[in-house]
Chains A and B, each alone.
Chain A
Amino acid sequence: MHNRFNLKAWLLLLPALSFLIAFTHWPTLKSIWRSFTWAKSDVAPSQFVGLENYQMLLEDPVFLKVIENNFWYAIGTVPTSIALAIIMALWVNSKIGGTSLLRLAFFTPTILPMITVANIWLFFYSPHIGLFNQLLALVGIEGPNWLGDPDLALSSLMVMTIWKEAGFFMIFYLAALQTLSPELFAAARLEGAGAWRIFRKITFPLLMPTTLFVLINAILNAFKLVDHLFILTKGGPNNESNLLLYYIYETAFSFLDSYYAATLTVVMLATLAVIALVQMLLLDRKIHYR
């Protein structure tokens, strides 16, 4: 009886499990193995080289720049888009008319594919013929080269990402807000609590499960979403806007060096795993589940 139950369970899990193993566990193990080997080209037999690839990482100025960029990119986009998402959700949560149009406006960036968004923003950011600089020219200011100035390139990317992501997170917050019991707020108002106090003591703590989910998503996206780099800056100028995943793509497919790419991949996996662990452990304590 016990055996039969196990077999059935495993069989039911098999389809999902096979996908998981084929697309997640197996490639991860293969990448880790590959990062310890090297060969002159993809057709030559590979040899075990130990930590040599990892040593190359530390000597690679582009790798260090890319890690730094990703760090700032995450710091810049994650808290901002979450804050914006909460604000938009609170605004749009009321029952007055016109909010459905507002919700549509906030959510539209999410519907568009990243490549489309990037192409649109390429023309927004264009120095002479682009929207922003033409508007600035109307008031007599000469707009900068948003994507070409090494000091501005990464920040310009961040602004675009926040624009795209905030609407997506807003949906989750909106759903969570609508599950909150209105009695809590009525009670708080009766006791004379102001709006900010209500938010800090009631709304935000109750939204913690959503915040944890959104936080994980946002940080993952800060590493995963690099489609816009292909259109906007290709990591330039001079690697100022280069991100880890784009560098991995370049190494694997432009430089055709799958061994070094595997090493970079292992670094990215380790980083994301650590971040996820930290979030789970740290924030789990602060969350009130019902």
Chain B
Amino acid sequence: MKILSKYLTTVGVASILGLSTAATAATDLTMYYPVAVGGSLTKIVDGMVDKFEAQNPDINVNAIYAGNYNDARVKALAALQSGSPAQLSVMFSIDLHELRNLEAIVAFDDVVSTNEEREWLNSFYPALMENGKADGKTWGVPFQRSTIVMYYNKDMFRAAGLDPEMPPTSWEEFISMGKKLTTKDDSGTVQQWGAMIPSTGYPYWMFGALTKQNSEVLMNQEGTETYFDKPGVVEALEYWQDLGNKHAMMPKGMIEWGTLRQNFLDQKTAIMWHSTGNLTTVKNKANFDFGVAKLPGNKELGSPTGGGNFYIFKDSTDEEKKAALKFVKFMTSAEQAAHWSKSTGYMGVGPNAYETETLKAYLKTFPPAAVARDQLTHATAELSTHEAGRVRKFLDDAIQAALTGQSSAEEALTDAQKQAERILRRYK
């Protein structure tokens, strides 16, 4: 008995020592990420994380789904202030200035050390890097990036006598085709709308497309100035108003972001402007023939980029930063980016993703997946300033006031510009 207990004690101590040495070798990473479009994206993320962990047994990644972009930022920042911070996270690309003001993140330039890593940092689409760069350094690396694309119902186009392979490419065509696609029943109630552009959720994002199409930008690169009341910008908002009020091809007033995709799938609208991140879900659920096209343009074509970037937090050890970098490199590598793009509809973050067999074959069988990437040549950065949340809300409120007829486009935007200037004055 005594010998047995001594034996067991020795074995026990030895195994504990053995386990602890194994445990200290592994790096634990916690990461928050958002999902802003529908579909089971969390499963896809979990799959990619498992693959990474299999290839890197010394790194554990705890990927926590954190809601939408706002929620993810709130959770990550709260974790930072508590005792158990995250080491990296996926957050809104436009949170950049605020995260820097809070001194929460580090520049990727300061974490990469080898030439291969530097090459990787330069391998992304430049348009997607715009929102992630400040002071000449890169603070956010693209992961789930999108542009707005125009989904359209080809069956409805045929029924209206329009060529389903020729969706509208200009503002005028958008109106004329939209009118033809709007059908009413005998009592005058609209059965099917020509188009829907969402005005809740992220109205400033949709507006960023209309203003780019009118050759305007909404802010400067440093995030210290906004240009909401420029004549071209006012014109863009008036065009949006006219779609519903004058041309009656869109419902008047507010169009809800959260139910827009369902409206399209239920064939209540022939066209919807939405994130390319919805593409795979629409593809799986649509029981009609549909297409995807670049947004129509006026003075030029355009769409803002959207979506989330990877950020590495400052409050972590060098070892954790290295492990986080490895993970980010994996998730944005050509094969993983291709897999992510195919499974969700978000675009491949770099040209090398589109060189993989996965995406080459996919694009051949499903050309709509290339639209978001092709639109990058006409892309502009998403609205991003200091106190981004507040400034965004001024613009959102102005857009909603104009669309519901509470004020004219010019009044609403002038007001928003005044308020934005008041807030941004302190950052110049």
Residues of A within 8 A of B193 (CB): 128
Nearest CB of chain B from residue A11's CB, rounded to whole Å: 29
What residues of chain B lie closer than 8 Å to A77, measured between beta carbons?
none
What residues of chain B lie closer than 8 Å to A236, measured between beta carbons? 200, 254, 396-397, 400
Segment from B161-169, B282-290, B374-382, B387-395 that makes contact with A: B387-395
Main secondary structure on A side of the interface with B: loop
Q: Beyond A42-B102, A238-B406, A255-B390, is A145–B268 a contact (Cβ under 8 Å)? A: no
Chain B residues within 8 Å of A255, by CB: 387, 389-390, 393
Q: B290 → chain A, closest Cβ, in Å?
A: 17
Say whether B266 faces chain A, with CB atoms less than 8 Å apart: yes
B183 CB to nearest A CB, Å: 13
Contact B389 A142 (CB under 8 A): no
Interface pairs (6), CB distance under 8 Å: A148-B200, A148-B256, A236-B254, A236-B397, A237-B404, A238-B404
Measured CB to CB, the nearest residue on chain A to B196 is A128
Q: How many residues belonging to B are interface residues under a CB distance threshold of 8 Å?
A: 39
Q: Does A148 contact B259, Cβ atoms closer than 8 Å? A: no
CB distance from B397 to the nearest CB of A (A): 5
Whether the pair A256, B98 counts as a contact (CB closer than 8 A) is: yes
Q: For residue B153, give the distance in angstroms from its CB to the closest CB of chain A.
A: 14
Is B103 positioned at the interface, with any CB of A under 8 Å from its CB? yes
Q: Is A233 an interface residue (CB 8 A)?
A: yes
State the CA gap A256–B390 with chains docked (Å): 9
Q: Are A149 and B254 in contact (CB under 8 A)?
A: yes
Interface residue? A204 (CB, 8 A): no
How far apart are the CA atoms of A254 and B91 in the complex, in Å? 13
A256-B200 CB under 8 A given contacts A129-B266, A145-B251, A237-B404: no
Closest 3 CB pairs of A and B: A148-B254, A254-B389, A237-B400
Contacts of B253 in A (CB 8 A): 145, 148-149, 237
* Interface check A210, CB cutoff 8 A: no
How many A-B pairs fall under 8 Å by CB? 97
Q: A43-B103, A148-B200, A149-B404 are in contact. Are A129 and B74 (CB under 8 A)?
A: no
Tell me, yes or no, whether B262 is within 8 Å of chain A by CB.
yes
Say yes or no: is A147 at the interface (Cβ < 8 Å to chain B).
yes
- Assess whether B101 is interfacial by the CB under 8 Å rule: yes
Given contacts A122-B259, A149-B253, contact A254 B70 (CB under 8 A): yes
B263 beta carbon closer than 8 Å to chain A: yes
Query: Is B254 a contact of A237 with CB atoms below 8 Å?
Result: yes
Interface residues in A, total, Cβ within 8 A: 33
Closest residue of A by beta carbon distance from B396: A236
Complex Cα spacing A123 to B263, Å: 11
B82-121: which residues lie under 8 A (CB-CB) from chain A? Answer: 98, 101-103
B119 CB to closest chain A CB, in angstroms? 34
Q: Is residue A194 contacting chain B, with contact meaning CB distance below 8 A?
A: no
Q: Which residue of B lies closest to A141 (CB)?
A: B189
Known A237-B254, A237-B403; further 16 A-B contacts with Cβ < 8 A: A42-B102, A126-B263, A128-B263, A129-B259, A137-B189, A145-B251, A148-B254, A148-B256, A150-B404, A233-B200, A236-B254, A238-B400, A253-B70, A253-B73, A256-B102, A256-B389
- Taking CB atoms and an 8 Å cut-off, the chain A residues in 230-276 that contact chain B are 231, 233-234, 236-239, 250, 253-257
Q: Which chain B residues numbered 247 to 287 have a C-beta less than 8 Å away from chain A?
A: 251, 253-256, 258-259, 262-263, 266, 268-269
